[in-house]
Structures are given as structure tokens and as C-alpha cells.
Amino acid sequence: MKSVKGLEESKGPKDLKTSKDLKDLKDLIGELAGIQGPSGSEEQVRAAILEKLEGLADEVKVDALGNVIAVRHGKGPKVMLSAHMDEIGVIVTHIDEKGFLRFAPVGGLNPHRLPGARVAFLNGAIGVIGVEKLEEIKELKFARLYIDIGVTDKAGAEAKVKIGDTAVMWRPMEDLGQRVVAKALDDRIGCAILLEVLRLLKKPMNETYFVFTVEEELGRRGASTSAFGIDPGYGIAVDATITGDTPEAPKVALALGKGPAIKVKDSSLISHPGVRKLLIAAAEEAGVPYQLEVLDFGGNDAGAIHLTRAGVPSGTVSIPIRYVHTPSEMADLDDVAGAIKLLVALLEKPLAI
């Protein structure tokens, strides 16, 4: 691996609830969330993360698929922390004679949440998602949606956008005080957490890999390849999850502001009981309130990591997010700060299960 600038002296964990620390954390989340990075086109996110990694790691590399891998050396076993850089988006499939774009989803999008949403292409073109006239709402499918980029004919559209171009939902981050709303908190919030853990980690007791992965939204592809190359002893994904604290929400025991969630199960993973116990012990040692996450659907990078080679004991630290996979995802900064403290406490001790 190629070395980067000398490792800065770590200042150790501090109170992330002070106004300056919260502002710095919001600024970091807002900056990362505001970058365009649909699955398969994470270049802009990767460039920003590489810049922020300078001085924070002993070694940094970008692998063949585009994952960013930063290492802090320690004497203990290899630990892989993973957060994905990509976000949901759309891809252009057809341009009609009037310049309207037809598109398909890139990742898990719900067509009912899209009419009127704005999208931004990687080249800066902006569009609005429109919908054909419907007799019934059940007719609302992707085939009935289009993107209007403000042109009058096909030639005008093709001057701005080509078949195969991808775009993301476009909204700026809004600061609501203790909470923030933005696109792509899934999973730029995880990327921000990994960067903060790197910054605050005084002396890792384990050989710790901080991996910023590609194409999670398309099937955890970056986690599969990076975990194979690293061959870790333990794997921990840091990602977003749903909540059950809004009117008539799904019956899950997850809410904003009650602490990060430690995963028990989803459709891709039953967390290793030893890893789950380590995460719970770290949370309790750090005085971080936590929730337990049990889902019968979904998955994240840990689902790929734990199946690597002969198997990797794995778990997940999740940030509860309202309105996940929409242009307006909402998170509570207490949950984010708690996840950072939990992970720093975990990594400053030798891991053994």
C-alpha cells in the first residue's frame, strides 16, 4: 500500500455535543452528502474522502474496483470497518423526440416518492421527474415517469445528457438543530463516522482497516471484493437503518435520538453473537445509549463481509434514518456522536470473542 502524509497526533475522543463539535460534524456530513455519487460512479465521493484521509492513516490505497482502504496499524487481529460511498440514483434509458428522458432506478427507489423530485447529473445538468396522466395510483411505475431537463427537442437533450448517464436526487442539507435532513445520508453518514473515528482514535490495538466501499446499493459488491483482499478477522459495517417512530411506521423498535443501533439480524446477516457482545460492551463502557436492530428485510456490507473466504465474524452499527431512500433522509446527531464514541472505545482494546 502507498503511504500518505505522516500520521497526525491523535487528540482522542472528546465531547461531540459541544456547539463547535456538532457544527464541525454537521459540516462534514453536509459536505459528503452534497456530493453526487450514484452506484458505479463514486469518483467525486472518493476524491473527497481521499483528501480528508491525509494525515489520518498509516497507509491508504484505492483497489481495482474503486474502494478506498485506509489502515491504522496495531498488534491485534485485522478488523474491517466498512461504510459505502455510493447512493441510489437513476440511469437514462431513452430520449424521446421532445427531449424527455426515460430512466431506470439504480438501487432501491420507490416510484411513488419520485414525482416532482429534482435530479442532478454528474455533468451538472438538472432535471425534474414528471409523471404521465394516471387513472389509478397503482399504475404509477417507472415506465410512467420521465425526466424534464428543460429542453424542447431531442437534439437539445442530447447536448446535455446521453443514454447511460446517471443522476442522483438533488436536495441541499437542511440544519434542523439537533437533526439534519439531506439526500444520501445512506451512507455518507457512515463515511463521516469512519473519518471521525480515524481522527479520534488514539492508539488502535488492532490492525484496523477503514474501507469506503462502492456499489453497496447494487448488491454489496465493493464489500465483497475488498473483504476478500483484506481477509479480516472481524467485520463491522456502519450504515443507515429505518425507524419505527413516525405515524403508522413499520413495527420496528428503532427511533431517532435513542442512540446508534447494534444489528441483531437482517435478511443478509445474523450478526455474530461475539461481535454483537463486543459492540454492546463498548457502548456501555463509553456510556452510549444503544438500540437493538432486528429486521426481516434489507442488508448492508456486513452481509458480504461475513461470507468472505472461510467466513468472518461480523456485525453492524446502524444510524436510524427517517425517510430512508428518499431525497430527504433525516438523522439525529446524538446517534451519530454515539456511534463514533462506541467505535473508538471498541478499537482501543484488543478484540477477542
Strand ranges inside the chain, DSSP E: 59-62, 68-72, 76-84, 89-95, 101-106, 118-121, 126-131, 145-148, 166-169, 174-175, 179-182, 206-213, 234-241, 261-266, 269-270, 291-294, 314-320, 329-332
Q: Say how far apart CA 351 and CA 93 lie, in whole Å.
A: 48
Nearest partner of 348 among 61, 83, 84, 72, judged by Cα: 72
Active site residues: 216
* Residues 6 or more apart in contact with residue 319 via CB below 8 angstroms: 185, 189, 190, 193, 238, 239, 240, 241, 260, 261, 331, 335, 336, 339
Q: Strand, helix or coil at 340?
A: helix
CA 166, 321, 198, 222 torsion-angle sign: negative
Q: Say how far apart CA 195 and CA 187 lie, in whole Å.
A: 13
